[in-house]
Chain A
Amino acid sequence: MRRSFAPWANPDAKPLIRFENVTKRFGESTAVDHLSLDIFEGEFFCLLGPSGCGKTTLMRMLAGFESPTEGTITLGDQNLAGVPPYRRPVNMMFQSYALFPHMSVEKNIAFGLKQDGMPKDQIADRVGEMLRLVQLEKLARRYPSQLSGGQRQRVALARALAKKPKVLLLDEPLGALDKKLREETQFELMDIQHDLHMTFVVVTHDQEEAMTMADRIAVMDHGRIVQVATPGEIYEQPKTRFIAEFVGDVNIIEGHVQGQENGLWRVKTSSAEVPLTIDDPDEVLHSGQAVAIAVRPEKMVIQRDLPGPGAINVLTGEVWDIGYLGDWTVYRVKLATGEILRVTRANASRFVENPIEWDEQVYVTFAPDAAVILAE
């Protein structure tokens, strides 16, 4: 079972990769800003963030194409300062795949092994093994220009894996694939990483990709890491509004803390007549503080009938839009304040009698523990 794998929770575990207070500046602009990060052996680690957040720079520093302006990067016991890319036990799969167009598939995969001076018969064995791994045995003699996008992606992966690096870096590995292929490949990558017991560091801007594959995700913004946690924690306990909005869909309701009752926070908002009740005991807040309440769309319930008098967290509005996605239906509900809430409902049965229609008055409710309070 994978889930028992959590070296980051063990204070005695020694990280494989360690960024210590790393800063990278390009002229005036700072790409990576005093960043510290530990990555453990065998982890499938995702660097997630919008473009320009510094994630690619971070990866390129690990590969050796850029060197930090300040701070140190260590791999195992080795300080990587001054070590050129061709002497690092790290291999990279490039976003553009960067396959050598003048070499066949097998020559591409053999390239790195040849640089190590591996004997010819061993090279042939390893290349065969890699071709089997990515299921491209039949295309060994083809040239990159004769392959489809998905096949090229596999060749790039095989080439980067051939040297059995301590760490495999993947720069937007699935970015160029179409949706269906991307999903399949995600699971394949996970299987390969698991079978080879290798450390994968993936850069992506696609949160779904990161959520599916990663053991842990580091969300980056403006050269800093905002949160490092498992996909579940990132989604259910986002630390900041930026993360809540960047990872998945979220409804944000702004308000002010009124006080605490029975361990539950009461938050006054303009969206609801009664203060909202939120169960988020870890937050330390004071009365009058401005906060944002974040609720995921699937944790909200939409209904036509007025909830009973004991009901809490009731928001009233009218249906503004309905999007039928097959597995889900998305309702966009407009509140009196003009705010638009996004509520999703799983289409568990094929036929619904008297379904909620456009422009209908509806009530949206959510449980106290469905929401997270984010200090502004």
Chain B
Amino acid sequence: MTMRRLSVFNVTSLVIGFAFLYLPILLLVLYSFNASRLVTVWGGFSTQWYGALFRNEALMEAAWVTLRVAFLSATLATVLGTLAALALTRYGRFPGRTLFTGMVYAPMVMPEVITGLSLLLFFVAVDFDRGFWTITLAHTTLTMCFVTVVVQSRLMTFDRSLEEAAMDLGAPPLRTFFSVTLPLIAPSIVAGFLLAFTLSMDDLVIASFNAGPGATTLPIKIYSAVRLGLSPEVNAASAILIGIVTLGVISATLLSKRSVLRSRRNAH
């Protein structure tokens, strides 16, 4: 079989498809290097808005909050999500397993508005001051299931006889977990963490429901800034955000792919 030649039709639809997806983003990044104050008029290349961004304390503060929330919620989600994945793969049948599976995965398909609203109602009901911690907890709820999915798919291909071998050689269960299981599923855990981190970083809906006067995240800040009029500074902030998210998603994909490949190679 020879490689199929790309016909004119194929190339055209490919270009239009990608343009549809990425042209707006490309435009945004391009305009973040615009020398003109007017967002829609090209006035030459300049990095001045990046400089202005770093001098804008309100935006920088929001960025700092976003990073801290993302790191903390991703960490929490990774621990909880990994435990859920272990429970789902290791304890074959327990009463309420189907319900448990459904409940773990529900936040994935739940409309964000509803997740955000219900969390807000909950925090109001228990009289929890809204701010940094409420956003962090809300993001943990949102991202945990993504960690579970990634780690679970790795655990499905995990050769249990490796753990049996460790125990057979004298390692008690906990030491077996830390010296054999954990190192082998680590890439998928890191991938889950990166996914949770990026999801938390670009979330607007849930964060805006649960943000308080003390803490605003970057997406919220950008959204409200845009409502007052487009500014090249926001373009610059968005371009950086896009960069971080892209990097996170690419490394997560590579890590989980490598980890699955490795487990497959060792099976032979």
Contacts and interface: CB of A to CB of B under 8 A. Distances in A.
Interface of A: 63-65, 84-87, 90-92, 94-96, 98-102, 111-112, 115-116, 144-145, 159, 163
Contacts of B162: 98, 100-101
B161 A86 contact: no
Contacts of B180: 100
B60 interface: no
A163 B184 contact: no
Interface in B165-192: 165-172, 175, 179-180, 183-184
Contact of B266 (A101, A111, A112): A101
A105 to B, nearest CB: 14
Contact of A144 (B164, B171, B266): B266
Nearest to B176: A86
A115 B173 CA distance: 12
Contacts of B179: 111
B262 interface: yes
Interface in B214-265: 262-263, 265
Interface in B139-172: 159, 161-162, 164-172
Contacts of A159: 165, 169
B171 A145 contact: no
From A87, A90, A92, A98, name the one whose CB has the most chain B CB atoms within 10 angstroms. Answer: A98
Nearest to B163: A98
B184 A101 contact: yes
Nearest to B169: A112
A99 B263 CA distance: 12
Contacts of B267: 96
A94 B159 CA distance: 12
A168 to B, nearest CB: 11
A145 B262 CA distance: 9
A88 to B, nearest CB: 8
A261 to B, nearest CB: 58
Contact of B166 (A63, A84, A90, A100): A100
B164 A65 contact: yes
A115 B159 contact: no
Contacts of B266: 99, 101, 144-145
Contacts of B171: 86, 111, 115
Contact of A111 (B159, B166, B262, B265): B166
A100 B179 CA distance: 10
Interface residues of B, number: 22
B161 A111 contact: no
Nearest to A101: B266
B169 A91 contact: yes
A271 to B, nearest CB: 49
A101 B169 contact: no
Given A98-B159, A101-B262, A101-B266, A86 B164 contact: no
A305 to B, nearest CB: 56
Contacts of B184: 101-102
A96 B175 contact: no
A115 B169 contact: yes
A73 B179 CA distance: 30
Given A86-B171, A101-B262, A116-B170, A92 B183 contact: no
Q: Give the 8 A-B residue pairs with the shortest CB-CB distance, closest first.
A: A112-B169, A115-B170, A98-B165, A98-B161, A101-B266, A85-B167, A86-B170, A86-B167
B168 A63 contact: yes
23 contacts: A63-B164, A86-B167, A86-B170, A87-B170, A90-B168, A91-B168, A91-B169, A92-B164, A94-B165, A96-B159, A98-B159, A99-B165, A99-B266, A101-B184, A101-B262, A101-B266, A102-B183, A102-B184, A111-B179, A112-B169, A145-B266, A159-B165, A159-B169
A144 B184 CA distance: 14
Contacts of B183: 102
A272 to B, nearest CB: 53
Contacts of A85: 164, 167-168
A101 B32 CA distance: 47
Contacts of B170: 86-87, 112, 115-116, 163
Nearest to A96: B161
From B172, B175, B266, name the one whose CB has the most chain A CB atoms within 10 angstroms. Answer: B266
A100 B167 contact: no
A43 to B, nearest CB: 20
A82 to B, nearest CB: 15
Nearest to B266: A101
Contacts of B172: 84, 86
A86 B166 CA distance: 8
A124 to B, nearest CB: 17
Contacts of A112: 169-170
A115 B169 CA distance: 7
B168 A111 contact: no
A163 B266 CA distance: 24
